[in-house]
Amino acid sequence: MHFTSEQRLDDGVLEREFTLGEIPGILWTPGSASAPAPLILLGHPGGLHKMYSRLAARARQSAAEGFAAATIELPGSGDRPRSAAAEQARADLHRALEAGEPVDDEIVDRLVLPLVEKAVPEWQTTLDSLLSLPEIGGPVGYSGGVISIGTRLAVVEPRISAAVLFAGSFVPRTMFEEARQVTIPLHVLLQWDDRGNDRQAALDLFDAFGSKEKTLHANMGGHTGVPQFAGDAAAQFFTRHLS
């Protein structure tokens, strides 16, 4: 992990860009911390530059609660090399949505499963590096989309002890079986009128999660319209489980 830039934000939070091999990322740590901070991994749909302002806002809210937060670019997004197969799957998805057709499982599988296969080990390698920093301790939470990445991480990565999952992307059928294996506390966010999302699949996935503590928060406002109070509730979930 190489830090490539560093700036102190106006609320005292230290923001550092890094690269981990070819993967760019950003780490935010609280301005004042007497002990190693718990860590929240910030998931997103890809495109660090495009997502920066929303990610930084989530990170700063986390830092105000005493948490470090980190994110990395997704495979095939931002400045990372494109995958022709993923681009084709994305185009096929958009074509189906624009035509108002049901989205074939086969398209979802082609789009999401290779992404999960590539992204999850990258998150785990990132976690190795982050936890070796003296200013970062544990426990660790995952927050965000892509929900299939969060689900797989919750199954295979024992260092993640709680997750806020954003149910805003299509879910391959095989993920429902993986969801049954999840046991950590979950806080699932669903935008009820998210036109580019399959609401019933999100509800089915919530039902499938094996966790004894799981909460679904559904709100209005479209895909990007998560209300401030819903973000606050997600932050409270982490305060309960990671503090």
Q: State the residues that interact with a copy of itself by CB under 8 A.
A: 192, 203, 206-207, 212-220, 227, 229-230, 233, 236-237, 240
| Nearer to a copy of itself (CB atom), residue 151 or residue 211 | 211
* Choice between 4 and 236, CB closer to a copy of itself: 236
Contact assessment for residue 20 and residue 126, using Cβ atoms and an 8 Å cutoff: yes
Tally DSSP H helices, then E strands, for the chain.
Answer: 7, 9
Tell me how far, at minimum, the Cβ of 135 lies from a copy of itself, in Å: 29
Using the minimum distance from each CB to a copy of itself, give the nearer residue, 124 or 215: 215
- Cis, bond preceding 146 (omega within 30 deg of 0): yes
Q: How far is the CB of 186 from a copy of itself (least distance, A)?
A: 10
To a copy of itself, the closest distance from the beta carbon of 147 in angstroms equals 16
Which positions ≥6 away from 187 have C-beta within 8 Å?
162, 163, 164, 165, 214, 215, 217, 233, 234, 237
Q: Return the number of the residue (171 or 190) whose C-beta is nearest a copy of itself.
A: 190
CB of 100 to a copy of itself, least distance (A): 19
User: What is the 8-class DSSP label of residue 74?
Assistant: P
